[in-house]
Amino acid sequence: MSYQNILLEKENGIAKLSINRPKKLNALNRETLGEIHNAFAELETDDEVKVIIITGSGEKAFVAGADISEFADYSVEEGKNLAAKGQKEVFDRIANFKKPVIAAINGFALGGGLELAMAAHFRIASDNAKMGLPETSLGVIPGYGGTQRLPQLVGKGRAMEMIMNAGMIDAKQALQYGLVNHVTSAEELMELASRTAHKIMRNSMVAISRAIEAINANDEDGVNGFDKEVENFGKSFDTEDFKEGTSAFLEKRKADFPNK
């Protein structure tokens, strides 16, 4: 599939998806969101791809926000539809994706950019990264899951402060908050993301997929996360990965999972 606003590269089981609008600091417009949606549809059916890394093109930004010019004159209904469509087709899809998704934050991650990073399963940042949700300074609130995912990651009080003051925090503070998992230099960011992806791929991708589902179940209304864990734990016993993993452990060798 051909893309105009993103780059999609695949190598050794890892897909690197780069938001590629560097002149616009990789701001998200409708076309870019549509391409991200289509890319994840492609990655979902590609059995060769095990882990996805999302990053931004250029040296300044991961994603510096949404393209405000596209919705500056929206009505109430149009605004609701914008958020609902974006959440369903992109942000929630990434959060619930069955393959691990890592955000490699290589600069500004603001507004929709931070929401995109928070939708990933975890985040790695370069030491020059800046993060924030500045929407209230524009008279609006985060609409792509920011009011829900930020408190889950950093706690309610810090999320309230970040959203109310509309400011930015640096990578060091983001690490202290638990917003990102690791901080490294800009030069080493993609190398660390790649090493992390390869480390993940040494394990059972079937088990990882079910673990993602169980972890996310805790955030679903009317779903008991413990029940989903029990269910998916039981399902694991009927897989080739479980047979290989336990046999390797008992035989004191490294597992060679059949899904690789």
Q: Give the C-alpha separation, 216 to 96, whole Å.
A: 7
Q: Give the C-alpha separation, 141 to 167, whole Å.
A: 13
135 is catalytic: yes
Q: Of 88, 93, 110, whose CA–CA distance to 42 is shortest?
A: 93
Annotated active-site residue in 11, 35, 44, 115? 115
Q: Give the C-alpha separation, 139 to 15, whole Å.
A: 37
Annotated active-site residue in 135, 188, 213, 240? 135
- Provide the token pair at 137: 């300074």
CA 33 to chain CA mean position, Å:
14
What is the Cα gyration radius of the chain?
A: 19
**What secondary structure letter does DSSP report for 58?**
S
- If DSSP codes are grouped into helix, strand and coil, which group holds residue 21? coil
Q: How far is CA 188 from CA 77, 118, 182, in A?
A: 44, 21, 12
229 is catalytic: no
Q: Sheet containing 101-105: give its strands across.
A: 6-11, 14-19, 51-56, 101-105, 122-126, 182-184
What's the distance, Cα to Cα, between the start and end of the chain in Å?
A: 24
- Provide the token pair at 173: 């503070």
Residues paired with 184 in a beta bridge:
126
**Which residues have a catalytic role annotated?**
115, 135
